[in-house]
Chains A and B, each alone.
Chain A
Amino acid sequence: MPTITAVQPLAGTYTADPVHSSFAFAVRYMGVSTFRGTLGDVSATLAAGPDGAALEGSAEVASISIRTPEAFRDHVLSEEFFHVAEHPRIAFRSTRVELADDGRALVEGELTIKGITLPVHAEGSWTPEAELFGSRKAGLTLEATVDRTAYGLNWNADLPAGGKALADDVTLTVELTLLPAAADGEEA
C-alpha cells in the first residue's frame, strides 16, 4: 500500500454537486466485453479540518443507468443483484483520506452494498479548490475494485463456450465535484 505525504489542502465542508458527480461501475462479461453503468443519484460530503479529512457518500440504486429493457433492469434490481427493495442505496464512509501535494488521493473506508459492509481501498486524484465558472469548486476522483460476490451480488452463469457470463471483480469509479458548503462557520 503506497504511503502518501499527507497535507490538508482543503478546509471546511464540501458537498458534491449532484449534476457533476457520478458513481460508475464497469464489469467484464462474456470474457471479452466490458459493461459500464452509473448510479446517477449521488450525494457526498467531504469534511476537511486540521486533523484530516473525512468523506461520506451514498448513491441510489434505483438511479442505475440500466433503464431498458425492463427485464434487464428488473434482473439487476432483483435479489440476484442489488435487491433494491430491501437495500435502496449503497453507502461509503471513509476511515482514512489522504490528499497529497502531487495530486494523488488515497481513501480507505467502509463500503456498504446490499446491507453488507466491507473495507475498501480507493486511489485516484484530486484538484484543489479553485474559481471555476463563477463558483469555487474542488474535484476528487477515486477508483476501487471490489468483488461483487462479497456483497452478495452473486448471479452468474456458465457460458456455452466455456467460462462465466460475468466477472466477479467490478471497477468502481467515483467522480465528485465538490462545492464549499455555504454557511459553515465551524472551521477556523
Chain B
Amino acid sequence: MRVLGLPGSLRRDSHNRALLRAAAAALPYGAELVEWDRLAELPAYDEDLDGASAPEPVRALRGAIAAADAVLLATPEYNASLPGGLKNALDWASRPHATNPLRGKPAAVVGASTGLFGAVWAQAEARKVLRTIGAHVLERELPVRQADAAWAADGTLRDPGLRAALEELVAELVAQVEPATVAEAA
C-alpha cells in the first residue's frame, strides 16, 4: 500500500517535509509513504498547456497520484491559506474533473507552522479544495504549532499527544483504502 506525500513547502529544511517523514514512520505495517518532491517544476496552471502533451512534471504528478492508494498533504500556512504552489499542483491534478486521479482517492491533510495555530486554516482550505476535486477527504486536522521546537532529535514529534494523533490519522487514512484497489508495492 502506497501513500503519496505532497509537501506544500519547497524549503529544504521544511517542517512540513519533516512532518511527512514523521507520518511515514507512523504508518502501519505494510504501508509506505513516497514523497513527491517536484512542486517547483510545475508551471502555473494553463489550460493551453494541458492535454495529452501536458508538461512532463504535470504528467508525473498525475501518474504519481494514480499510482498511489492514498494521498497525504502536509501544508504550511501562507496568509491564512495553503501555499500557491500546492494549490497549483492540486489544480493540475484536478483536470479533467470527471476522470482526475484524485477522484475517490482517500486523502488527508496535516500541517505545521511556526506560529501558535499549526496551519489550521491552510489545512481547512486544503480539505475544501480536495473535496471539491472529488477526493475522499478525512475530516480531521493535525496542527503542529511552534514547529521550530516541535521535533525531537530522532525526527519524531516531541509532543506525545500529537504523535498519537498523527498515528491515528495515518491509520485512518490507510483504512479508507479499499483492499481490492491496493497498488502493488514498488
Measuring CB to CB, which residues of chain A are less than 8 angstroms from any residue of chain B?
29-30, 33, 35, 68-69, 71-72, 157, 159-161, 165
Given contacts A159-B120, A160-B123, contact A72 B143 (CB under 8 A): no
Report the stretch among B52-60, B87-95, B111-119, B129-137 that lies at the interface. Answer: B111-119
Q: Find out whether the CB atom of B115 lies under 8 angstroms from the CB atom of A72.
A: yes
The reply to whether the CB of B41 lies closer than 8 angstroms to some CB of chain A is no
Q: Find out whether the CB atom of B141 lies under 8 angstroms from the CB atom of A72.
A: no
Query: Taking chain A's interface residues, is the majority helix, strand, or loop, or is none over half, making it mixed?
Result: loop
Residues on B with C-beta less than 8 A from A160 are 120-121, 123-124, 141
The reply to whether the CB of B148 lies closer than 8 angstroms to some CB of chain A is yes
Q: Find out whether the CB atom of B114 lies under 8 angstroms from the CB atom of A69.
A: yes
A-B pairs, 9 with minimum CB distance:
A160-B124, A69-B114, A72-B115, A29-B116, A160-B120, A35-B116, A165-B117, A160-B121, A159-B120
10 A-B pairs within 8 Å (CB atoms) are namely A29-B117, A30-B117, A68-B148, A69-B114, A71-B114, A72-B115, A157-B121, A160-B121, A160-B141, A161-B141
In the complex, the number of residue pairs spanning A and B with C-beta atoms less than 8 Å apart equals 31
Chain B, Cβ-Cβ closest to A159: B120
Give bound CA distance, A23 to B115, whole Å: 22
Give bound CA distance, A159 to B141, whole Å: 12
Chain B, Cβ-Cβ closest to A160: B124
Q: Find out whether the CB atom of A30 lies under 8 angstroms from the CB atom of B143.
A: yes
Q: How far is the CB of B77 from chain A (nearest CB, A)?
A: 11
